[in-house]
Amino acid sequence: MQLLNTPKLQPLRRNHLIRDAINRAIYEAMVRDPSIYVMGEGQWVKKWYDARYIWDEFPERVITLPIAEDSAVNFAVGMSLLGVKPVVDLIAGDFLFRAMDSVCNTAAKLNFVRPDQQPRTIVIQAEFLLAGPTTGQRIESMFTHIPGLNVVIPSTPRDAHSLMLGALATPGVTLFFEDREIQDELITEPDQRIGGRLGLGYALLRRNGNAKPDATVVTYGVMRQVVEQALDPMLNIDLIDLRSIFPIDWMEIKASVRRSGKLVIIEPDVQWNGVGAEIIAQISEALPHVRVKRLGAKRETIPAAARLHKHCLPSDEEILHAITDW
């Protein structure tokens, strides 16, 4: 156990504010609801390290599973049929490829093929990393195509807390993605350790322009922090953090776009066929006078080196240019 505190492994604790908020929400829900269990690969060690209070108080509700992602999700489905609300941790987002059938063909259909039964709830956790071609991919938009799946990606501790509580209170399957590249030292929101009240399907206006903003900028996850760093504080824009990419808060987006007349989508996922493309399509159909742009990651194999991986993502210069050059 002492190895977990060595300097060599200390980088694993980056963005601990968001991770703490997620675990605190799980703990609060477990206190109120005895049907909530946490499970996945190495869960005893992870909870001992990240949330010792869960490990101490609910050891019988922390289940370590073998290294088999597909089996882990199917196990969670079986547990849910017995009345359990499982939170299953698949570690890295890329490992969802190992569990696509159990997530999309089994779990997602659970409440549709058994309409006579009480609705079931499953939360599937995974992380995004700058970790090379097979463990550093962004795959969130793939799951927005599947009926029965919700997809959330918080950018602050407050959102991480409220979205996890919302996921555990929402029937169906929620994919809860954690951006491990969000930096603690750049989190500036007040009361960052206190959970909010909003649940799934609600975006937040992080920056409010005047009555006629120059543009509406829509983003989510780590890219929200990148955009805020790239922007001049004097720019007159609305900055919307989606928080949930399915369901999407169309009301918030349309209200801002009607005032600005210009929409820029900046996403951390691959730009081709992504969330931004769908938002622009829907907004263009509803408000054809709006001018639109989108900016996302390149559709190419990710380099192994993290410093090269960053070049696949939109740069500060590209972000600023997309927002200001019309």
Q: What's the pTM value of the predicted model, to 2 decimals?
A: 0.90
What is the per-residue pLDDT for 180? 86
All residues at 6 or more sequence positions from 233 whose CB lies less than 8 Å from its CB, including other chains:
none
What is the per-residue pLDDT for 12? 42
Burial class (CB in 10 A: 0-12, 13-18, 19+), 3: exposed
Q: Which residue has the higher pLDDT, 57 or 4?
A: 57
Between CA 233 and CA 119 the distance in angstroms is 46
Same fold, 2-186 and 204-324: yes
Q: What's the CATH number for 204-324?
A: 3.40.50.920
Peptide bond into 247 cis (omega under 30): yes
Largest CA distance in the chain: 60
For residues 130-149, average pLDDT: 90
All residues at 6 or more sequence positions from 295 whose CB lies less than 8 Å from its CB, including other chains:
264, 265, 266, 267, 271, 276, 314, 318, 319, 322
Between CA 54 and CA 175 the distance in angstroms is 21
Q: Which of 137-151, 181-195, 281-295 has the lowest mean pLDDT?
A: 181-195
Residue ranges per domain, the chain?
Answer: 2-186, 204-324
At residue 235 the predicted structure's pLDDT band, cuts being 50, 70 and 90, is very high
Superfamily of structural domain 2-186: Thiamin diphosphate (ThDP)-binding fold, Pyr/PP domains (3.40.50.970)
Q: What is the pLDDT of residues 211-221, one digit of tens each?
A: 899 999 999 99
Q: What is the pLDDT of residues 157-208, one digit of tens each?
A: 999 999 999 999 999 999 999 998 888 877 766 554 445 556 799 999 999 9
